Structure 1
Amino acid sequence: MVPLDPVPQPIDALSLRGDPAAPALDGREGPLSYADLEQAVGRLAHWLAAQRLAPGSRVASWLPKSRAACLMPLAAPRAGLVHVPVNPVLKRAQVAHILSDSGAALLLTQPQRAELLEPADVPNGCTVAAEQDALAHHADALPPSAATPEALAAILYTSGSTGRPKGVMLSHANLWLGAISVAHYLRLTPADRVLGVLPLSFDYGQNQLFSSWAAGACVVPLDYLTPRDVVKAVDRQRIASLAGVPPLWTQLLEANWPEETAGRLQRLTNSGGALTPRMVRALRTRFPNADLYPMYGLTEAFRSTYLDPALVDSAPDAIGRAIPFAEIMVVRPDGSRADPGEPGELVHAGPLVAQGYWHDPERTAQRFRPAPAFAASGGTAVWSGDTVVEGADGLLRFVGRDDEMIKSAGNRISPTEVEEALLAGGEVAEAAAFGVPDARLGQAVLVVARANGDPAEAEARLRERLRRELPAFQQPAHYRWRDTLPRNANGKLDRSGLRAAVLAEFQEPAR
């Protein structure tokens, strides 16, 4: 088991954690040993340094799970730069927002992706570079950095309940301690092979690289199209550990798993939405040799809690206890500690708390506030907006969300961003987006709108346009058309009334 050393190091030192001859990365582009990984990170960092960018400049990557995508989270900080990973499923307008908002000085991508961008999508002073050119750089490798723990290493963009995606600022210490924490409580070992199916732009997906390398294990990145691709990869690559979100587990449970292949898995980890007791039972039956780790987290503090596999069968509805290095509190509205059995807001303090939102002091002040007076950690805490309750068994259980975020297939979707896209083409005069229960996705996007003209024609045009402009996970699944949309006493759209009306049409998923 990885020891819980609380002293952080520069995140790019992770490439030195494993046995130099042991595999660190494997997959479509072939294997890399830890010695190879260190050399590849150093060469890519040298190429980045040769671009002569100012220290602390933001460098974005918009890539599938390629070799460069796996190296950039270490190479950029080693070169004294800040990495901004962009989800490969995002469309050009969303990529343009992230490039502009982060002030990216460089975008590393592939020629076919670069061709999708229009000139105005790339900010002035931002260079677009091809990954093959960066990987072809065979000059001297940069040695590990001497970055301070507080230095900014990455900005991860995540949607808020209002407005466009916001960049969460993560330090070397945030990333390093998150890697050590997860490697420790998952009991990762150098013998483990970890299948990476989650996007590397998500903290959960990126941490699969970091926690695996912290343990000296091997990561096998996979861009999959069907659940069968995952089944085949588990068998072919001798996978022991698999991370997912509830919709992926639903798909994998419907897939055909040969008994021997299912028996290979020793560890399943879940985040991005709660597992139902029914799904827990199904996973335990299908993968009898695998420990199941339900987890709860938010990008602003990486990960907050996990449930020990030994407790999964007796408490399948729990999100568990604090992970190492996290202080988790249940807080009343007046800032005092809630009693066991009393609902309160989950507040996360300690060294995993991010540095705030990039260039957004207003939203930073809303979410990042002083820790409660009774906190042991002190300093800044993340006030999650999620309501939880601590049971008599000492385990936390999720109660509900206070904001309007839509969580679909493990993705956090901003209703405002969807609404902006709906209104951009002129098909509708007014629109509101909500999340409604969906057995496969967790939540699906439902739109209530007033059409400009015939609703059926408006819906047909909308569906066609949004397929081009929004990624698949943001596509509205349902439309409800109204002649008028209700307003409150202030003349604003009555979102709470609309939400109650649309939710009344849907039953909660079976548990």
Structure 2
Amino acid sequence: MIPLDPVPRPIDHLPGRGAADLIAIADRSGTLDFAGLEQAVGQMAAFLASQGLKAGDRVASWLAKTRTACLLPLAAPRAGLVHVPINPLLKRGQVAHILADSGAALLVTQPARAATLEAGDVPASCRQVFEDAVFATDVMLPSAADPQALAAILYTSGSTGRPKGVMLSHANLWLGAISVAHYLRLTPDDRTLCVLPFSFDYGQNQLFSSWAAGARVIPLDYLTPRDVIKAVDRFGATTLAGVPPLWGQLLEADWPTETANTLRRLTNSGGALTARMVSDLRRRFPQADLYPMYGITEAFRSTYLDPALVDAHPESMGQAIPFAEVIVVGADGHRAAPGEPGELVHAGPLVSLGYWGDNGRTAERFRPAPAYFTSGGMAVFSGDEVIEGADGLLRFVGRADEMIKSAGNRISPTEIEEAVLAGGEVAEAVAIGVADARLGQVIAVVARARGDPADVEQALRARLRRDLPNFMQPAHYHWRDALPRNANGKLDRAALKAEVAR
């Protein structure tokens, strides 16, 4: 486990942390050691510096998980520029929005992707360059940038509207890397299989935290769960991060015992794991430590649950990660008492710089930390309702704007979903509040059944009548062969809500 380093520094210093003979990247093209990584980042930064861009200009990338995609998050800040990664799953309309909103001056992409863009998608002020050209013979040395300077803009998935850009400083990215590498106990022997998009905050952090620990990364674009299993086997991956829908797919796949036992560490983000899923993961991967985590892009990671506590507290999201101060704040601004629901508020050096070009939304979410916080400065008010137990562990209740309000009761969609999934009749489920003239809202569940939907619904309704009070009983079930996902692999609740409301 690497020691905590509380001194923020420019993010592009990360590759130099590993020993020269350790492997930094392993993929289908071969391997690259840390000395080679340092040289490649310096060459890419030198190319960017030669393009006539001004300090602080935005460099967007729309790439699969290529070497260039791995290096640009370090090379652009080294050149005094701001990196804007675009999820490779996005389509031209979404790409056009991000390019225009960020004011990107340069787009690094691939010929096949560029061919899908139409006239006007790329602003006239933004030049395109293909990734094969983004290298120079010169090598730019690491920067001496102010750690508080803007280094990256990460656009949220946009499931609740237009994607918005979260501004991250060098310090945000550096301290996030050190924090995660520390609590995950990463070592130079580890091999991180990177399946999450690099445009996703935790997907990108997998690069930085692994390199901070001297570990290697294995970038993988996958089509099926079988691709992930084969990569774990081929590269001897020890660490795998996922979101709940991906874990559901991987649990349904056939894992050879030897391959499953290769993994030492499973980390979850992008949604809470159900108790049943925790149990299934622990059974399928008995050699692996399981790290449930919670975070928002506006503050990167916020909490994690120590693996030693997972079996006893599978419903918990844990406690604050290093460098984070996380407190539950009541409706009137007081510190919530144990057992009292409130909004999770995050303060400390991991809090981002706000939303790019949107002072109004920044002012709504980023406000001075309450006086009882130890950390000064700005805090981010998450909009998520949580409860802190007497044991100090936090438990997720739900998004404040997703709570279902029926007959005067506030109902957590998460609690309904956990109950639906607990019996094993259903593979995936999303609970939604639907307008009702008499009750205000009733509960609708959109789900993927294991078996004939009619039989599953009959069994499910019978079980939930035993397990849930009357006001929490779903009124409607909508059965689907597949549930929609957004570009980060999360279940697309906004799309389902719009569909069910029609």
Same fold flag (TM > 0.5) = yes
Q: In 2, are the aligned partners of 1:307 and 1:321 still within 8 Å (CA)? A: yes
* Corresponding letter in the other structure for 1:171: S
Deviation at 1:478, TM superposition (A): 8.4
Q: Percent identity between the aligned chains?
A: 69
Q: In 2, are the aligned partners of 1:447 and 1:480 still within 8 Å (CA)? A: no
- Structure 2 counterpart of 1:69: 69
- Structure 1 counterpart of 2:211: 213
- Structure 2 counterpart of 1:484: none
Q: In 1, are the aligned partners of 2:46 and 2:136 still within 8 Å (CA)? A: no
Q: Residue 247 of structure 1: which of 241, 245, 248 is its match?
A: 245
Pairing 1:346–2:344 present:
yes
Residues 163 and 246 (structure 1), Cα distance of their counterparts in 2 relative to 1, 3 Å cut: closer
Q: In 2, are the aligned partners of 1:273 and 1:442 still within 8 Å (CA)? A: no
Tell me the number of residue pairs that the alignment of Structure 1 and Structure 2 aligns.
432
Instruction: Report matched runs for 1:337-486 at 5 Å.
Output: 337-404=335-402, 440=427, 443=430, 476=495
Residues 392 and 222 (structure 1), Cα distance of their counterparts in 2 relative to 1, 3 Å cut: same
For residue 179 of structure 2, give the secondary structure of its aligned residue in structure 1.
helix
For residue 349 of structure 2, give the secondary structure of its aligned residue in structure 1.
coil
For residue 155 of structure 1, give the secondary structure of its aligned residue in structure 2.
strand
Deviation at 1:470, TM superposition (A): 9.4
Q: In 2, are the aligned partners of 1:90 and 1:471 still within 8 Å (CA)? A: no
Residues 444 and 232 (structure 1), Cα distance of their counterparts in 2 relative to 1, 3 Å cut: farther
* Corresponding letter in the other structure for 1:397: R
- Structure 2 counterpart of 1:227: 225
Distance 1:160 1:357 in 2: 13
* Corresponding letter in the other structure for 1:177: L
Q: In 2, are the aligned partners of 1:247 and 1:440 still within 8 Å (CA)? A: no
* Corresponding letter in the other structure for 2:171: A
Q: In 2, are the aligned partners of 1:193 and 1:241 still within 8 Å (CA)? A: yes
- Structure 2 counterpart of 1:296: 294
Distance 2:53 2:378 in 1: 31
- Structure 1 counterpart of 2:277: 279
Q: Residue 192 of structure 2: which of 172, 187, 194 is its match?
A: 194
Q: Moved runs in structure 1, 4+ residues, more than 3 A?
A: 159-163, 437-448, 469-481
Residues 480 and 166 (structure 1), Cα distance of their counterparts in 2 relative to 1, 3 Å cut: closer
Distance 1:24 1:444 in 2: 42
Instruction: Report matched runs for 1:82-161 at 5 Å.
Output: 82-134=82-134, 137-159=135-157
Distance 1:143 1:333 in 2: 50
1:187-214 CA distance string (max 9 Å, x none): 0000000100000000010000000001
* Corresponding letter in the other structure for 1:398: F
| RMSD value, Cα | 2.4
Deviation at 1:443, TM superposition (A): 3.7
* Corresponding letter in the other structure for 2:269: S
1:212-259 CA distance string (max 9 Å, x none): 001000000000111111111111101111100111111111111111
Distance 2:101 2:52 in 1: 21
Distance 2:432 2:487 in 1: 12
- Structure 2 counterpart of 1:164: 162
- Structure 2 counterpart of 1:79: 79
- Structure 2 counterpart of 1:33: 33
- Structure 2 counterpart of 1:328: 326
For residue 217 of structure 2, give the secondary structure of its aligned residue in structure 1.
strand
Deviation at 1:479, TM superposition (A): 7.6
* Corresponding letter in the other structure for 1:72: L
* Corresponding letter in the other structure for 1:83: H
Q: TM-score, normalised by structure 1?
A: 0.81
For residue 318 of structure 1, give the secondary structure of its aligned residue in structure 2.
coil
Distance 1:394 1:240 in 2: 30
- Structure 1 counterpart of 2:9: 9
Distance 1:269 1:300 in 2: 20
Distance 1:121 1:471 in 2: 22
Distance 1:286 1:138 in 2: 46
Deviation at 1:403, TM superposition (A): 2.2
* Corresponding letter in the other structure for 1:202: F
Distance 1:158 1:479 in 2: 19
Distance 2:433 2:331 in 1: 31
Deviation at 1:163, TM superposition (A): 3.6
Distance 1:145 1:133 in 2: 22
Distance 1:386 1:478 in 2: 19
Q: Residue 183 of structure 2: which of 185, 193, 207 is its match?
A: 185
Q: TM-score, normalised by structure 2?
A: 0.82
For residue 397 of structure 1, give the secondary structure of its aligned residue in structure 2.
strand
For residue 300 of structure 1, give the secondary structure of its aligned residue in structure 2.
helix
Deviation at 1:471, TM superposition (A): 10
1:149-204 CA distance string (max 9 Å, x none): 10100000014675411100000000000000000000000000010000000001
Q: In 2, are the aligned partners of 1:446 and 1:479 still within 8 Å (CA)? A: no
Residues 217 and 471 (structure 1), Cα distance of their counterparts in 2 relative to 1, 3 Å cut: closer
Q: In 1, are the aligned partners of 2:196 and 2:488 still within 8 Å (CA)? A: no
Residues 478 and 391 (structure 1), Cα distance of their counterparts in 2 relative to 1, 3 Å cut: closer
For residue 353 of structure 2, give the secondary structure of its aligned residue in structure 1.
coil
Q: In 2, are the aligned partners of 1:246 and 1:441 still within 8 Å (CA)? A: no
Residues 295 and 37 (structure 1), Cα distance of their counterparts in 2 relative to 1, 3 Å cut: same
Residues 471 and 240 (structure 1), Cα distance of their counterparts in 2 relative to 1, 3 Å cut: closer
- Structure 2 counterpart of 1:266: 264
Q: Extract unaligned runs of 5+ from structure 2.
A: 404-419, 436-483
* Corresponding letter in the other structure for 1:310: A
